[in-house]
């Protein structure tokens, strides 16, 4: 895999690593040393790849591991919605590099799914300075290009298994091009256009859903996305909940 041939749009800087603990960790180290918004860390493999909720992220050579450093000037709550932008950008990139053969759906809050199986996970980590202002965000995205983990509770797949063995290099370039497309839209028009693009690929809308929250579980129907990105779950009784963080499961 020749990551060296990756060309990024203006405003993005590539930090290529062979083996690293976690691209998110490396991006945070760069941020702490003053790296600018748009720094992108890519690695061939990770020795301590992380998923959400403290889970490990299996990182064999052949998949994509990327972390983008951004320094938005808004509150952390608003900046956290950038994960939806990253999900849309990566979904579009996968669709483009596979010539339209693979069209990922966006699963709340930030996974990409194909045929009810996970193909990409996104992990946002942030640092704030005084008050609630955002110092920086690191948004990690891992895509199962060649391999996928065997996990019964969270079934996964890879582009290779779907018959689209794409080049990681092409995927990275296309992904960053889509991020470069969406970022100015987000800066000018806010979250609304990204929400629309996400909903056009929304996974499980109108379907029964179980939301696992910190202290309880809710069951109902996934009826839509709030204007701030929260999942709207309607119980059979009609009672609606706006869920800002948690993990959701749909019947396959
Ligand atoms: C999840 O679905 O639980 C999130 C997975 C995020 C994995 C990516 S791979 C690149 C970056 N580095 C990490 O250690 N994690 C993210």
Q: What is the pLDDT of residues 208-252, one digit of tens each?
A: 999 998 889 999 999 999 999 999 999 999 999 999 988 899 876
- 43 touches 19 (CB < 8 A): yes
If residue 176 lies in a helix (H) or strand (E), which one and from where to where?
Answer: helix 168-189
Q: Which atom of ligand 1 is nearest to the CA of 59?
A: 9
Q: How far apart are CA 91 and CA 171, in angstroms?
A: 10
For residue 53, give the ligand 1 atom closest to its CA: 3
pLDDT tens, position by position, 137-158: 999 999 999 999 998 788 999 9
pLDDT tens digits, 19-69:
999 999 999 999 999 999 999 999 999 999 999 989 999 999 999 999 999
Quote the pLDDT of residue 131. 64
Give me the pLDDT at residue 76, please.
Answer: 87
Rg (CA), the chain: 17
Q: How far apart are CA 153 and CA 117, in angstroms?
A: 11
Q: What is the Å distance from ligand 1's center to 220 Cα?
A: 28
pLDDT in tens, 120-141: 999 999 887 666 677 899 999 9
Where residue 17 falls among pLDDT bands split at 50, 70, 90?
very high
- Name every protein residue with a CB atom under 6 angstroms from any ligand 1 atom: 22-24, 46, 49-52, 55, 57, 65-67, 111, 121-123, 140-142
Using the atom order of ligand 1, give the atom closest to the CA of residue 43.
10
Q: How many CA atoms lie within 13 A of 18 on its CB side?
A: 0
- pLDDT over threshold 60, residue 101: yes
CA distances (Å), 107 to each of 120, 148, 199, in order? 10, 17, 10
Indicate yes or no: pTM above 0.85.
yes
Atom of ligand 1 at shortest range from CA of 52:
3
Return the ∠ at Cα 163 (arms to 168 and 165), rounded to 5°.
Answer: 20
Query: How far, in Å, is the centroid of ligand 1 from the Cα of 71?
Result: 19
pLDDT of amino acid 152: 74
Given ligand 1 and candidates 50, 145, 246, 249, which is best to mutate, with the most ligand atoms within 8 Å of its CB? 50
Task: Look at ligand 1, atom 16, and give the residue with the nearest C-alpha.
Answer: 140
Checking if the pLDDT of 181 tops 70, the result is yes
Whether the Cβ atoms of residue 120 and residue 144 lie closer than 8 Å to each other: yes
What is the rounded CA–CA span in Å between residue 2 and residue 114?
27
Probe residue for ligand 1, chosen from 58, 142, 157 as the CB with the greatest number of ligand atoms within 8 Å: 142
Q: What is the predicted pLDDT for the residue at 138?
A: 97
| 3-class secondary-structure state, position 149 | coil
Rounded to the nearest angstrom, the distance between the alpha carbon of 141 and the centre of ligand 1 is 5
């Amino acid at each position: 895999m020749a990551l060296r041939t990756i060309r990024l749009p203006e405003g993005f800087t590539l930090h290529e690593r062979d083996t690293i603990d976690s691209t998110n960790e490396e991006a945070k180290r760069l941020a702490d040393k003053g790296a600018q918004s748009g720094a992108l860390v890519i690695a061939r493999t990770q020795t301590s790849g992380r998923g959400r909720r403290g889970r490990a992220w299996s990182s064999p050579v052949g998949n994509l591991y990327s972390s983008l450093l951004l320094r938005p000037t808004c509150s952390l709550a608003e900046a956290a919605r950038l994960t939806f932008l990253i999900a849309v950008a990566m979904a579009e990139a996968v669709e483009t590099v596979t010539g339209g053969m693979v069209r990922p759906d966006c699963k709340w809050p930030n996974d990409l799914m194909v045929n009810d199986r996970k193909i990409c996970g996104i992990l946002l980590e942030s640092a704030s300075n005084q008050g609630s202002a955002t110092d920086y965000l690191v948004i990690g995205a891992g895509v199962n290009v060649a391999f996928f983990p065997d996990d019964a509770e969270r079934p996964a797949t890879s582009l290779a298994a779907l018959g689209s063995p794409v080049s990681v290099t092409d995927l990275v370039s296309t992904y960053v091009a889509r991020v470069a497309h969406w970022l100015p839209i987000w800066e000018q028009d806010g979250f609304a256009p990204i929400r629309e693009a996400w909903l056009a690929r929304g996974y499980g809308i109108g379907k029964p859903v179980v939301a696992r929250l910190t202290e309880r579980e809710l069951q109902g129907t996934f009826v839509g996305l709030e204007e701030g990105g929260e999942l709207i779950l309607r119980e059979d009784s009609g009672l609606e909940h706006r869920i800002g963080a948690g993990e959701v499961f749909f019947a396959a």
